[in-house]
């Protein structure tokens, strides 16, 4: 059933269809609308058999989810940015304990400077926490991925993060085909825990493990993600059979066959990239793109295959590995290390900076001429930077960078990009 | 579904970790000697019978009591209870009122008609001379061994000093008769008015395999007091005896009693009851030095008996007595001061102690007499094989309780002697001193005071002065026992072990340590209320 | 068709874009609406965007080349970049009681085809029908009349779905009134009440 | 007494068990059918007060919950010594997640039970003073404020023992720890007002708050059993001496705890909906010195010279408790 609704609402309604039993909520932009909507559904009784817990922090939120999941309840929470960092300890704990929690990340930058807008720094900070990380390209996919996430998580006993771009997706009104309760019930079996806190059959969960077994435990976590590599495409296909939509999977290619230049990216920016690709191809440029849905586990083999024909790869990242460049790019390098290919890292869209088709097309043209730095920053205001650097060399106490740059640029908020 | 590796564990798995190996000290359960038992001249297992009394099982308590003493109703009245002097509870609040519980059990037994059962006959004949406490005690014990016992009693009634020395108001005769009857009911025969003038002959003619001598001490000590013919001077025992015989002597209104022992008090209080308006006890030393038991002095004072300390009687006329003041020297002995005074009085009763009549023993060879008493070995045997002696006629404190103890001890040795064996009592445990206890666990419970007959009636009648306890407060008193030195299954060790290393074996079976897991922290020993756990070093 | 709406926080700029997308959706078309994600402070300049198409919409960039501008607050008129990227044949709908000429933005509007620029007193209408200075619903009625890209019924339905009940109905009334006004405006392309 | 006082039953009155009592009236710990929720083989130090407190509390909760119990544990000694792979000492459904989130995890378990309609299952969370008073404070306060159906039991040994005796929010004034050494002009912990978790809990006006000590088993069991069956957020603060961290003799663990109670330094009381409703009277009053002298962490108060000022100050803390909670007043009911 189609609806023109906000992405957050679509996710909330889909999560509700998955019959979660415990939902933990702590407000943080831009994820807030999701839990608000779910809270309303629980209160109104629309979502029955579910406990909605208003916690005192993100750390508390995931902790409540951990307890609920260990007690055999299907558990869900959502967060973003600072919130994800504040729950970091629990993030590792949930995966370490193998608890199939599903968490939505409304991707947002991390301060300081404090910034509420979109980029991928938050999810990236937790990429090695042992969670499966799925990136949504559209709000339709964001909604669909949650259904798949619960099934995947519970099959493997491993938590899953569904990452959707903050504001760009969470706050966007789109035409969404919402699943029906019958479809979801038929596709997502009730939660059958691998381990459960049950007085009738007591176990001790969360033992202290020393050098004698810790490495094995970690390997098994890795192995679990390797199994996810097999399950994700299967589930995506099965999902299509029931719901008639292509959502999820490890990655999606766009005109990569025979393309000399291939762009790789995560999330919603792929839409704009495809627009750019179309226009460039119309100009006869040999270019295609790959949208990676499963960032963890990272589909090395599929990426390698998709890049078989590429002469060069442009990895567009909404996060920065300070002091290195790109994280996704590093992973892509690993996928194709056997072949000598140029891999350009492009850092774009940090802290909500709009990524425009115009900039992209210009960027890709440069790439085609191999005129790119190996690490390129898209639409960076070099004047502001040069001025600040000059200030710093001149005066030791040159003041807070962000404020200085704002002074240089003047009031930004009314500007478009 | 397969549980996650390592992070999820099945219950009970830690039992594989034997923490007992950490131990440097190990706890062990011990039994220590409670001070009450330690102090009891009759060798009663007081804590033992209190244990049963606590749970209201009076029959078992009584049975346990009479193992060592066949006269609980009497003992509960006349014993000066050294057990209570030793009781650790005295250091907490007041000692357990042991004698009152003992008396309760004795009276209960009489009320319910509980009986003794004699042992299977051995065919041996034992003569007991004297039916006082030691004689009765010995006869009873011997009968339990199955020996045939014959008691020869010189007096007109059984009981010895219990009857002719202790006044009714302290020991009602029906109680005395009942407990003697219970012994004769076992088959012990008492021949009254039967004076043994020649023991050797009796033994030989009547073929006794052994003899126990318990004739007591009945010959009053005398002091030389120059006196006019009209002066009325009697001895205490004669007075008490005639009162018992129902022919009280005429003592007049003002009676002086000379002496400081229990007999002096008995006779003074008796005189009061016979109508004396003024009764004065004259004693050469002070109250502290007075041998009489304090409770009796207290009761006497309540009854209006007066005392003249540090005084000796020098001269007597028909109505006056000259008294010399004394002072105690540094050794505590009274020394004359040369100061005199005159006291008016109608009669003087001498209570200066008693001697033993040893005439009937003259022809028993080997028998040794020292300081007017018969010398006995540690096994209560005189110099003559097969002849044992106890009670007031042997060197010891002269109390009913000591006598009962002698009787028991002698009987056990006689039994061994008859089997040409030697009796060895159980080895005594280490004393359970107060510092071995953890008294926090005992709730505060002050002693129950026994009701007393009001003073008015005491002056005129021979009704029993001290009343007994009813069941409730007897139970309460029994439960005040701290069970010093012996496990009473309070479960403290079982509960306070942080390692669940104590096994509870069930009611009456106590506990065991599970040394596989006991780390030897010693908390069980520290928290054992009664000091029944000891920490001993591990041999490493 | 790409629409950019300028206004200030609290004027319902974002809802306006959302309602446009709903209206388009109701006409069976693909639509996408999203805000400029400025922090939601009252009075701060805010933008919202709406894309309407007959095909699925992939682009996620802000609207750079609008086919229509809705300016909910005339005090923004002289702000830098307000008319950036406006299509030469695009539309401009301004909420103002004054006539276009008096607004002093002739330079920005002169290239536009006749009838593609309009000023209307949306706030006044809103005050009259809604009772609060919320011009967004009203403007949508005017927008439908001016551009013809959306039918009034769709806009009305969109308003109702976004604001069920009394608030919605009063907005609907205001939108219909605005529609009438704009539909029958004079050659001066100004609307006076 | 706050708990149903056993009428005078001789020596058994305050001991763990009593042969004269009806089995049903006896302490959980005297029962051979007790759960032994924390079983033998754990790696707690000799004479560990926390092991004892946990045994007491969880066994009592197990009886009250008719064995339908789930326990959540914060990181700390209790967790480390009870569940080192491959062995666990727990004989109860048990879970450990993190240091600071036991109350939140337990809240999650409770929410799950509610969602699944498992009304019979009771949930407890347990942790040390560090995991409760310091790093776990936020989650704890949230759990209280939401009135989640969880009984939180804090075993307070007044420092971070697992990491080697560092100061915690409940470390008492003047106590020596690795981070408050007994050197300098102000040896030991600073002389602050301290942090009273029970009072903080009471400020949330939750249904039940109580303090307990391993020195008074009947009192502790009564409170845990009572708290277990109450619904909503409950908090019990148990004083558990640590021979290692306090420098006391392993066999003195209960003696030390008792001295804390009898001196008034650790008042035993109950509170309902924010108001103190009962206290456990001191039975055998002791000066605080009796308590302090048993522990090396306070040795500097006596050697080389007696620190009269601090000793007096500590005594005044005890006196204030005695007056504040009426600890010397017998309870008449």
Domain boundaries, chain C: 2-183
Half-sphere exposure of A363 (CA within 13 A, CB side): 28
Integer Cα distance of B46 and B98 in angstroms: 8
Sheet holding C2-8, edge to edge: A2-6, A173-177, C30-35, C45-53, C2-8, C68-71, C91-95, C117-120
D304 touches chain B (CB under 8 A): no
| CB-CB under 8 Å, A275 with C58 | yes
Integer Cα distance of D297 and D279 in angstroms: 28
B1 touches chain A (CB under 8 A): yes
3-state secondary structure B381-419: ECCCCCEEECHHHCCCCCCHHHHHHHHHHHHHHHHHHHC
Candidate from A6, A30, A271 with C-beta closest to C59:
A271
**For a pLDDT cut of 90, what percent of chain D falls above it?**
89
Tell me which residues of chain B, numbers 356 to 415, contact chain D at a CB-CB cutoff of 8 Å.
none
Residue burial A297-316, b: 16+ Cβ < 10 Å; e: rest: bbbeebbbebbeebebbbbb
Q: Which pLDDT tens digit goes with each residue over C7-22?
A: 998 889 999 999 999 9
A210 touches chain B (CB under 8 A): no
**Nearest partner of D158 among D183, D141, D138, D133, judged by Cα:** D133
Q: Which pLDDT tens digit goes with each residue over B222-276?
A: 888 888 777 889 999 999 999 998 899 989 999 999 999 999 999 999 999 998 9
Of the ranges A136-145, B191-200, B480-489, C181-190, which one carries the lowest mean pLDDT score? Answer: C181-190
A217 touches chain B (CB under 8 A): yes
What is residue B511's DSSP assignment? E
Integer Cα distance of B211 and B135 in angstroms: 11
**Nearest partner of D19 among B62, B511, B446, B65, judged by Cα:** B511
Find all residues with CB under 8 Å of A378, minimum gap 6, and list them.
A316, A346, A347, A348, A349, A353, A355, A359, A360, A363
> Residue A125: in which H helix or E strand, if any?
helix A121-125
pLDDT of residue C39: 57
Sheet holding A251-254, edge to edge: A251-254, A287-292, A261-266, A312-317, A342-347, A375-377
| CB-CB under 8 Å, B7 with A205 | yes
Shortest CA distance from A207: residue in chain B: B7
| Residue B40 three-state SS | coil
Shortest CA distance from C34: residue in chain A: A172
| CATH architecture of the domain formed by B221-352 | 3-Layer(bba) Sandwich (3.50)
Beta strands in C20-102 (DSSP E): 30-35, 45-53, 68-71, 91-95
Angular region, B423: left φ>0, alpha ψ -120 to 50, beta rest:
beta
pLDDT of residue C186: 61
For residue B485, give both structure tokens: 């030195």
**What is the distance in angstroms between the Cα of B14 and the nearest Cα belonging to chain A?**
11
Phi, psi of A97 (to 5 degrees): -85, -5
- Say whether pLDDT at C188 is over 60: no
pLDDT of residue A396: 78
Long-range contacts of C179-182 (CB under 8 A, 24+ apart): C179/C141, C179/C142, C179/C144, C179/C145, C179/C152, C179/C155, C180/C145, C181/C120, C181/C125, C181/C142, C181/C145, C182/C118, C182/C120, C182/C141, C182/C142, C182/C145, C182/C146
Residue B289: is it exposed, middle or buried by C-beta count within 10 angstroms (0-12/13-18/19+)? middle
Say if CB B421 and CB B245 are below 8 A apart: no
**What is the distance in angstroms between the Cα of B12 and the nearest Cα belonging to chain A?**
9
Indicate the CATH number for domain B13-31+487-537: 3.30.70.20
Indicate the CATH number for domain C2-183: 3.40.920.10
| CB-CB under 8 Å, D116 with A72 | yes
Say if CB A158 and CB A95 are below 8 A apart: yes
| CB-CB under 8 Å, A65 with D72 | no
Angular region, D47: left φ>0, alpha ψ -120 to 50, beta rest:
left
What is the predicted ipTM? 0.90
Beta strands in A93-139 (DSSP E): 102-107, 132-135
| Residue B129 three-state SS | strand
B476 touches chain D (CB under 8 A): yes
Say if CB B255 and CB B269 are below 8 A apart: no
B81 upstream amide cis, omega within 30 of 0: no
What is the pLDDT confidence band of residue D161, given thresholds at 50, 70 and 90? very high
Phi, psi of A72 (to 5 degrees): 90, 15
Q: Which pLDDT tens digit goes with each residue over D238-276?
A: 999 999 999 999 999 999 999 999 999 999 999 999 999
Q: How far apart are the first and last CA of chain A?
A: 35
Shortest CA distance from A220: residue in chain B: B5
Judge whether B13-31+487-537 and B37-114+443-477 match in fold: no
Domain boundaries along the sequence of chain B: 13-31+487-537, 37-114+443-477, 125-218+356-418, 221-352
Q: What is the set of domains in chain A, with CATH numbers?
A: 2-243 (3.40.50.970), 251-377 (3.40.50.920), 383-417 (no CATH)
pLDDT of residue B3: 84
**What is the distance in angstroms between the Cα of A268 and the nearest Cα belonging to chain C?**
7
D to C contact (≥3 Cβ pairs closer than 8 Å): no
Q: How far apart are the first and last CA of chain B?
A: 47
Indicate the CATH number for domain B37-114+443-477: 1.10.1060.10
**Nearest partner of B179 among B92, B88, B268, B114, judged by Cα:** B114
- Say whether pLDDT at B459 is over 80: no
**Nearest partner of A328 among A251, A276, A254, judged by Cα:** A251
Domain boundaries along the sequence of chain D: 10-325
Mind listing the pLDDT tens digit of every residue in chain A (417 residues)? 999 999 999 999 999 999 999 999 999 999 999 999 999 999 999 999 999 999 999 999 999 999 999 999 999 999 999 999 999 999 999 999 999 999 999 999 999 999 999 999 999 999 999 999 999 999 999 999 999 999 999 999 999 999 999 999 999 999 999 999 999 999 999 999 999 999 999 999 999 999 999 999 999 999 999 999 999 999 999 999 999 999 999 999 999 999 999 999 999 999 999 999 999 999 999 999 999 999 999 999 999 999 999 999 999 999 999 999 999 999 999 999 988 899 999 999 999 999 999 999 999 999 999 999 999 999 999 999 999 999 888 887 777 777 777 777 764 443 444
**What is the distance in angstroms between the Cα of A394 and the nearest Cα belonging to chain C?**
33
Contacts of A357 in chain C (CB under 8 A): 59, 61, 64
| CB-CB under 8 Å, A357 with C62 | no
Q: Which pLDDT tens digit goes with each residue over D24-82?
A: 778 999 999 999 999 999 999 999 999 999 999 999 999 999 999 999 999 999 999 99
| Residue B158 three-state SS | coil
Integer Cα distance of C148 and C152 in angstroms: 9
B to C contact (≥3 Cβ pairs closer than 8 Å): no
**Nearest partner of A137 among A107, A180, A158, judged by Cα:** A107
Sign of CA dihedral B390, B391, B393, B395: positive
Q: Where is mean pLDDT largest: A139-148, B2-11, B434-443?
A: A139-148
Residue B235, strand partner residues? B350
Say if CB D13 and CB D6 are below 8 A apart: yes
Cα distances from D117 to residues A50, A51, B49, C159, D181, in angstroms, run 11, 11, 56, 42, 52
| CATH architecture of the domain formed by B125-218+356-418 | 3-Layer(bba) Sandwich (3.50)
Over residues B463-485, the mean pLDDT reads 89
Instruction: Establish, for the pair of chains A and B, how many residue pairs have beta carbons separated by less than 8 Å.
Output: 46
Over residues D189-217, the mean pLDDT reads 95
Tell me which residues of chain A, numbers 7 to 66, contact chain C at a CB-CB cutoff of 8 Å.
30
Integer Cα distance of A45 and B168 in angstroms: 91
For residue B311, give both structure tokens: 């005084």
Q: 2.60.40.180, 3.40.50.970, 3.40.605.10, 3.40.50.150: which CATH number matches D10-325? A: 3.40.50.970
Phi, psi of D203 (to 5 degrees): -65, -15
Contacts of B432 in chain D (CB under 8 A): none
> Residue B111: in which H helix or E strand, if any?
helix B98-112
Instruction: Establish, for the pair of chains B and D, how many residue pairs have beta carbons separated by less than 8 Å.
Output: 163
**Nearest partner of D40 among B19, B505, B525, A207, judged by Cα:** B19
Over residues C26-49, the mean pLDDT reads 85
pLDDT of residue D9: 55
**Nearest partner of A269 among A300, A292, A240, judged by Cα:** A292
Chain A residue set in contact with D, beta carbons under 8 Å? 21-22, 24, 49-51, 53-57, 59-60, 63-73, 75, 89-90, 93, 97, 197-199, 201-210, 212-213
Shortest CA distance from B17: residue in chain D: D41
Shortest CA distance from B477: residue in chain D: D10
Contacts of D98 in chain A (CB under 8 A): 63, 89-90, 93
Contacts of D55 in chain B (CB under 8 A): 498, 500
Residue B189: is it exposed, middle or buried by C-beta count within 10 angstroms (0-12/13-18/19+)? exposed
| CB-CB under 8 Å, B14 with D87 | yes
Candidate from B14, B480, B496 with C-beta closest to D40:
B14
Candidate from A173, A275, A417 with C-beta closest to C34:
A173
Q: How many CB atoms lie within 10 A of CB D195?
A: 15
| CB-CB under 8 Å, A358 with C59 | no
**What is the distance in angstroms between the Cα of A297 and the nearest Cα belonging to chain B?**
20
For residue D17, give both structure tokens: 């068990």
Contacts of A60 in chain D (CB under 8 A): 101, 104, 138-139, 142
């Amino acid at each position: 059933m189609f609806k023109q609704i906000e992405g957050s609402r679509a996710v909330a309604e889909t999560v509700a269809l998955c019959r979660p039993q415990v939902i933990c909520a702590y407000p943080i932009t831009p994820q807030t609308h999701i839990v608000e909507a779910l809270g309303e559904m629980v209160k109104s009784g629309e979502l029955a058999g579910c406990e909605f817990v208003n916690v005192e922090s993100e750390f508390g939120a995931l902790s409540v989810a951990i307890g609920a999941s260990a007690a055999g309840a299907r558990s869900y929470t959502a967060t973003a940015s600072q919130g994800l960092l504040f729950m970091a300890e629990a993030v590792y704990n949930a995966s370490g304990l193998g608890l199939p929690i599903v968490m939505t990340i409304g991707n947002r930058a991390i301060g300081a400077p404090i910034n509420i807008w979109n980029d991928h720094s938050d999810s990236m900070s937790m990429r090695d926490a042992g969670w499966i990380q799925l990136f949504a390209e559209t709000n339709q996919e964001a909604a669909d991925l949650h259904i798949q996430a619960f099934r995947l998580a519970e099959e493997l006993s491993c938590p899953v993060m569904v990452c959707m771009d903050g504001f760009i997706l969470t706050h966007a009104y789109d035409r969404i085909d919402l699943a029906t309760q019958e479809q979801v019930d038929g596709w997502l079996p009730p939660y059958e825990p691998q381990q459960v806190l049950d007085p009738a059959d007591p176990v001790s969960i969360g033992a202290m493990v020393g050098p004698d077994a810790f490495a094995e435990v970690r390997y098994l976590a890795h192995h679990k993600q390797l199994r996810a590599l097999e399950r994700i495409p299967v589930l995506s296909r099965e999902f299509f059979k029931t719901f008639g939509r292509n959502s999820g999977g490890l990655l999606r290619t766009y005109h990569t066959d025979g393309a000399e230049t291939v762009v790789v990216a995560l999330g919603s920016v792929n839409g704009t990239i495809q627009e750019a690709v179309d226009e460039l191809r119309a100009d006869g440029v040999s270019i295609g793109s790959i949208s990676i849905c499963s960032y963890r586990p990272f589909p090395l083999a599929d990426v390698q295959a998709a890049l078989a024909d590429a002469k060069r790869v442009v990895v567009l990242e909404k996060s920065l590995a300070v002091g290195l460049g790109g994280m996704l790019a590093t992973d892509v390098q690993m996928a194709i290390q056997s072949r000598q290919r140029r891999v350009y890292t492009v850092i774009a869209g940090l802290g909500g900076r709009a990524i425009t088709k115009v900039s992209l097309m210009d960027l890709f043209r440069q790439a085609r001429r191999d005129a790119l730095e190996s690490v390129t920053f898209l639409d960076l205001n070099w004047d502001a930077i040069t001025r600040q650097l000059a200030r710093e060399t001149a005066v030791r106490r040159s003041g807070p960078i962000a404020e200085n740059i704002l002074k240089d640029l003047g009031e930004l908020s009314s500007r478009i990009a | 579904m397969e549980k996650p590796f390592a992070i999820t564990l099945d219950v009970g798995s830690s039992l594989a970790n034997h923490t007992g190996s950490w131990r440097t000290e190990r706890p062990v359960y011990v039994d220590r000697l409670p001070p009450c038992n330690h102090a009891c001249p009759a060798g009663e297992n007081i804590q033992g019978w209190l244990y049963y009394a606590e749970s209201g099982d009076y029959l078992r308590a009584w049975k346990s009591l009479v193992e060592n003493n066949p006269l609980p109703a009497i003992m509960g009245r006349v014993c000066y209870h050294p057990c209570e002097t030793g009781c650790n509870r005295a250091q907490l609040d007041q000692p357990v009122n042991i004698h009152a519980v003992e008396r309760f059990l004795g009276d209960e037994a009489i009320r319910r008609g509980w009986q003794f059962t004699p042992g299977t006959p051995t065919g041996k004949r034992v003569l007991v001379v004297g039916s006082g406490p030691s004689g009765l005690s010995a006869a009873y014990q011997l009968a339990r061994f199955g020996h045939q016992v014959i008691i020869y009693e010189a007096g007109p009634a059984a009981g010895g000093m219990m009857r002719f020395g202790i006044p009714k108001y302290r020991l009602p005769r029906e109680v005395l008769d009942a407990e003697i009857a219970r012994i004769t009911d076992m088959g012990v025969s008492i021949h009254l008015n039967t004076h043994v003038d020649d023991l050797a002959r009796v033994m030989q003619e009547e073929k006794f395999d052994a003899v126990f001598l318990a004739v007591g001490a009945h010959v009053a000590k005398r002091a030389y007091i120059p006196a006019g013919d009209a002066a009325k001077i009697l001895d205490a025992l004669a007075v008490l005896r005639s009162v018992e015989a129902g022919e009280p002597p005429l003592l007049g209104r003002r009676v002086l009693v000379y002496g400081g022992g229990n007999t002096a008090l008995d006779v003074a209080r008796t005189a009061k009851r016979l109508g004396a308006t003024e009764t004065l006890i004259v004693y050469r030393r002070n109250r502290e030095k007075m041998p009489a038991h304090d409770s009796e002095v207290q009761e006497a004072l309540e009854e209006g008996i007066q005392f003249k300390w540090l005084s000796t009687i020098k001269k007597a006329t028909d109505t006056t007595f000259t008294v010399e003041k004394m002072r105690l020297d540094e050794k505590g002995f009274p020394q004359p001061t040369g100061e005199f005074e005159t006291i008016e009085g109608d009669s003087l009763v001498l209570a200066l102690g008693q001697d033993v009549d040893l005439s009937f023993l003259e022809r028993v060879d080997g028998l040794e007499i020292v300081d007017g008493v018969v010398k006995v070995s540690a096994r209560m045997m005189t110099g003559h094989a097969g002849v044992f002696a106890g009670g007031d006629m042997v060197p010891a404190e002269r109390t009913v309780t000591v006598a009962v103890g002698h009787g028991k001890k002698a009987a056990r040795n006689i039994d061994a002697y008859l089997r040409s064996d030697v009796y060895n009592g159980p080895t005594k445990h280490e004393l359970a001193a107060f510092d071995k206890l953890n008294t926090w666990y005992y709730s505060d419970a002050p002693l129950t005071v026994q009701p007393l007959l009001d003073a008015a009636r005491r002056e005129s009648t021979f009704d029993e002065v001290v009343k007994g306890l009813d069941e409730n407060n007897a139970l309460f008193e029994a439960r005040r026992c701290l069970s010093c030195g012996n496990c009473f299954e309070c479960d403290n060790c079982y509960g306070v072990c942080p390692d669940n290393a104590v096994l509870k074996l069930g009611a009456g079976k106590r506990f065991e340590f599970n040394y596989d897991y006991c780390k030897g922290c010693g908390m069980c020993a520290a928290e054992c209320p009664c000091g029944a756990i000891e920490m001993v070093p591990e041999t490493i | 068709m790409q629409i950019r709406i300028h206004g200030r926080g609290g004027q319902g700029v974002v809802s306006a874009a959302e309602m446009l997308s709903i209206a388009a959706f109701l006409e069976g078309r693909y639509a996408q609406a999203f805000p400029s994600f400025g922090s939601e402070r009252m009075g701060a300049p805010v933008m919202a965007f709406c894309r309407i198409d007959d095909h699925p919409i992939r682009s996620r960039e802000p609207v750079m080349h609008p086919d229509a501008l809705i300016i909910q607050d005339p005090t923004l008129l002289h702000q830098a970049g307000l008319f950036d990227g406006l299509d030469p044949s695009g539309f401009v709908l301004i909420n103002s009681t004054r006539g276009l000429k008096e607004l002093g933005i002739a330079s920005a509007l002169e290239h536009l085809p006749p009838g593609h620029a309009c000023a209307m007193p949306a706030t006044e209408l809103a005050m009259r029908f809604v009772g609060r200075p919320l011009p967004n619903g009203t403007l949508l009625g005017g927008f439908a009349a001016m551009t013809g890209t959306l039918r009034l019924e769709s806009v009305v339905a969109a308003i109702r779905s976004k604001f069920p009940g009394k608030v919605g109905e009063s907005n609907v009334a205001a939108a219909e009134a605005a529609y009438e006004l704009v539909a029958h405006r004079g050659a001066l392309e100004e609307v006076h009440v | 007494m706050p708990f149903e006082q056993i009428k005078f039953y001789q020596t058994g009155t305050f001991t763990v068990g009593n042969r004269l009592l009806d089995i049903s009236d006896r302490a959980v710990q005297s029962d051979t059918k007790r759960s032994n929720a924390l079983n033998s083989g754990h790696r707690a130090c000799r004479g560990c007060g926390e092991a004892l407190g946990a045994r007491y509390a969880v066994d009592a909760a197990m009886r009250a919950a008719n064995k339908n119990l789930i326990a959540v544990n914060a990181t700390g000694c209790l967790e480390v010594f009870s569940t080192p792979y491959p062995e666990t000492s727990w004989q109860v459904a048990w879970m450990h997640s993190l240091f600071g989130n036991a109350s939140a995890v337990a809240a999650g378990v409770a929410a799950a039970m509610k969602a699944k309609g498992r009304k019979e299952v009771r949930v407890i969370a347990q942790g040390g003073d560090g995991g409760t008073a310091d790093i776990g404070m936020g989650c704890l306060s949230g759990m209280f404020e939401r009135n989640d159906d969880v009984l939180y039991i804090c075993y307070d040994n007044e420092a971070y023992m697992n990491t080697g005796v560092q100061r915690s929010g409940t470390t008492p004034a003047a106590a020596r720890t690795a981070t408050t050494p007994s050197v300098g002009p102000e040896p030991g912990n600073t002389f602050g007002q301290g942090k009273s978790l029970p009072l903080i809990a009471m400020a949330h006006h939750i249904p039940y708050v109580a303090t307990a000590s391993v020195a008074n088993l009947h009192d502790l069991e009564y409170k845990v059993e009572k708290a277990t069956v109450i619904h909503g957020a409950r908090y019990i603060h148990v004083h558990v001496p640590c021979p290692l961290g306090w420098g006391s003799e392993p066999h003195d663990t209960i003696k030390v705890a008792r001295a804390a109670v009898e001196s008034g330094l650790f008042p035993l009381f109950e509170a309902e909906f924010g108001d103190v409703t009962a206290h456990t009277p001191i039975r055998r009053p002791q000066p605080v010195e009796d308590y302090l002298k048993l522990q090396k962490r306070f040795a500097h108060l006596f050697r080389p010279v007696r620190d009269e000022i601090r000793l007096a100050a500590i005594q005044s803390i005890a006196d204030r408790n005695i007056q504040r909670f009426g600890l010397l007043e017998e309870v008449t009911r």
